[in-house]
Amino acid sequence: KNQVEQSPQSLIILEGKNCTLQCNYTVSPFSNLRWYKQDTGRGPVSLTIMTFSENTKSNGRYTATLDADTKQSSLHITASQLSDSASYICVVSAYGNNRLAFGKGNQVVVIP
């Protein structure tokens, strides 16, 4: 079973609307969680990193949350733009383990 599960697998949203992507993980002991954005045909790019003590972190119109107790993270996109069309990948790391756990991504399509 994958240690990182993301939902929804894909979604279509209208330009200007908000959306929230979910990431549930079982990785332990938790070290940090990153959200990466991957545009079609490109490599992933880091959006934000969340550590155990952080609940919320923003990067422009992207806001990530972390609940370390329930092992859940979300990525909220505000006022979506066409350029937000991409796959968003949740990556979780554990203390003492150099192998990262990758989710399969949330595929977001923003339509005008």
> How far is residue 67's CA from residue 58's CA, in Å, rounded to a whole number?
15
Output the six-digit token pair for 103: 């989710």
CB of 98 to other proteins, least distance (A): 4
CA trace torsion 38, 85, 102, 97 (10° rounding): 60
Nearer to other proteins, 53 or 98 (CB): 98
Q: Least Å distance between CB 60 and other proteins?
A: 17
- C-beta closer to other proteins: residue 70 or 99: 99
CB of 77 to other proteins, least distance (A): 20
C-alpha span between 90 and 27 (Å, rounded):
12
Site residues, other proteins (CB under 8 A): 31-32, 34, 36, 41-46, 49, 89, 93-100, 102-105
Structure-derived torsion over alpha carbons of residues 22, 26, 31, 32, reported in degrees to the nearest 10: -10
Considering beta carbons, is residue 19 or 103 the nearer one to other proteins?
103
